[in-house]
Amino acid sequence: MDRRTSLALALCLVIFALFTALGQKYAPKPLPKRPLAAGTVAASQVPGSLAPADTSSPAAHAVAAAKAASSIAEKHSVIETPLYRAEFTNEGARLLSVELKKYGSSYGKSEYLKHPDRLPKRGEDVPAGDRVTLGGEPAFALDLGSGSAKRGFDHRMYAVAESTDAAGAIRALTFTTTDSSGLTVRQVWRARPDSYLLDLAVDMSNVPDRWRLSDYSLTMRSWPLMSEPSPALDQRSLRAVSLVGKDLHRDVAQGIVNKERKPEEGVAHWAGVQSHYFIALIAAASGDGRSVLRSAEERNLTPEQLALLPKDTKSVQPVAVGTLVMPVPATGSVSHRFVAYFGPADYFALQKQSGPLELERAVDMGWSWVVPISRLMLQALRAVESVVKNYGLAILLLATIVRLLLHPFNMSSMKSMRAMQKLQPEIERMREKYKSDPNALNTATMALYRENNVNPAGGCLPMILQMPLFFAMYAVINNAIDLRHAPFYGWIHDLSAPDLLVMAGPLPIRLLPIVMAATGFLSQKFAPTDPKQAPTMYMMNVVMLGIFYNLASGLVFYWTVMNVLTAVQQWLAMRGDGGVVVVTPTPEKPKKGRRSGDPRNSA
């Protein structure tokens, strides 16, 4: 990558790092809870209630229904497939958690972060206690109303019926509740074979008119961040996400904790939450939602969870909350169908399974104009890996292929920059000669370029062409689930995590970023650089070392490969660099009586 590109990207990364650090430091603190007025009972102290007692209110009705249904015992039911284990409770008909059998957590019983050799091979089952678990306490909930008018069903006891297959495994769960007013709510969950998708049918009937109920809510909540090597980095990727109309919306959880949020009105297709590599979504398969609400709360980690995490981990984590709001017709009857997804952020798997629902758009593949290129890069990366059987080698080969495709453009750019460098002394002399006559200086400079066959903009086009490819490769390597727990060679056991050679007390020694900085120095040694700017450019490598030091080793390795390839191309450009014949044309002297630079003086 040439000097200008490196400088621009480095400045962007510095600004991004400063923005992140300042955002964390000056992020608004959670609003203090308002004290209750004397004699007022908190709504949470009354099961099923969200408001002060009122015999005519729906909240009071919910309390009465919960008490009436107290004879129904709480029961946990499990839908288990080869891909996941989903646990439900009939208290509120909540989906409590989803364990992903094929994905291991960095902070489980087996401590895969410390012992990567214990990690099962890709596609094999991970033992219970070591799996990635998407459990948002609960992970999914259905409630009447929305926003501040939501009437929680947390303590309503549902009757539950289990449907099994020939082997006795549960394949469907039906939750039903009916109260004295005749209101009936039924939820039916069905598993799909060989898929992370679950089908959900919601039916309501006899919704009382006096409740003036216009909608109901389907809410997804994020899980404790324990699956990735760095919970702090995973926290930066924790977002509430939704698709309204054709517009995709993402909100970083730590930036909206306890903030008042207005619903996003429009044709709502789906809503949910996502961490770096995992997603939970609820999508309307029949009918359209009326709005979505993206918000965030805070969660205190349990002592057991903190014991598994690094010692400096904060005990409070943000919780992303994504809510899909569905309408309730004036008839008081509802019959809607949904698709829920709990699983990896796998772009092509989601695209294949969800079809027209476009759930794959939740996967971060870069800006919308970069996504088509990112898709091609991801397909190419997978194709190369299927041959070499190693994602590190696949990154090396793909980066080399991309560089070879752009080689003619890069060589043209480098030769143009070297020619400009050779002309620089002559340009400086002309600036001194024509310092009081800008028009004459401009005429002489353009003539110098023309006579020496140099295009001053010749270095820009190749840089513009390769920038989308760089952004696409960055998005793919940073977000592709394929690189999670993918080993390379030697001390690099996970391309999605920073490499670790050895610990020097509290300081981790990472070799790959140091090699990257060294290749950056090598690349700039061959680059045409103004001697006055050389110290600044060399210092930029130190800055880049600091920025990349704790990033994923896959990204650092990609940048290292690009530095090496750039150095090779610059060396080739130097070898094939013909001598530039510096011809210094002199502008015509202005005729008597006319000012220098008069248009009539031009030849």
3-state helix, strand, coil in the chain (%, to 5): 40, 25, 35
CA distance 199 to 334: 16
- Whole-model pTM: value is 0.80
Question: Is residue 505 pLDDT above 90, yes or no?
Answer: no
Q: How many CB atoms lie within 10 A of CB 262?
A: 9
Q: Tell me what the mean pLDDT of segment 188-194 comes to.
A: 95
Instruction: Give which of 33, 32, 51, 31 is closest to 41, Cα–Cα.
Output: 51
Q: What residues form DSSP beta bridges with 316? A: 300
Is residue 91 within 8 A of residue 74, CB to CB? The reply is: yes
Confidence of residue 192 (pLDDT cuts 50, 70, 90): very high
Pairing of strands 334-344, 197-205: antiparallel
369 Cα distance to chain centroid? 16
4 Cα distance to chain centroid? 28
Q: What is the pLDDT of residues 44-60, one digit of tens each?
A: 333 333 333 343 455 55
3-state secondary structure 509-523: ECHHHHHHHHHHHHH
Q: What is the pLDDT of residues 444-461, one digit of tens each?
A: 888 888 887 777 766 666
The CATH architecture to which 31-364 belongs is Distorted Sandwich (2.70)
Is residue 3 within 8 A of residue 537, CB to CB? The reply is: yes
Q: Tell me what the mean pLDDT of segment 505-524 comes to.
A: 90
Confidence of residue 360 (pLDDT cuts 50, 70, 90): very high
Locate the domains of the chain by residue range. Answer: 3-14+389-575, 31-364
Confidence of residue 531 (pLDDT cuts 50, 70, 90): low
For residue 356, the 8-state DSSP code is: G
Confidence of residue 406 (pLDDT cuts 50, 70, 90): confident
Question: Is residue 419 pLDDT above 80, yes or no?
Answer: no
Alpha carbon separation from 511 to 133, 238, 386, 508, 514 (Å, rounded): 32, 29, 28, 10, 5
Say what angle helices 3-25 and 511-526 make with each other, to 10 degrees: 140
Question: Is residue 197 pLDDT above 80, yes or no?
Answer: yes
Q: Which of 37-51, 138-152, 499-513 has the lowest mean pLDDT?
A: 37-51
- DSSP, collapsed to helix, strand or coil, labels residue 50 as coil
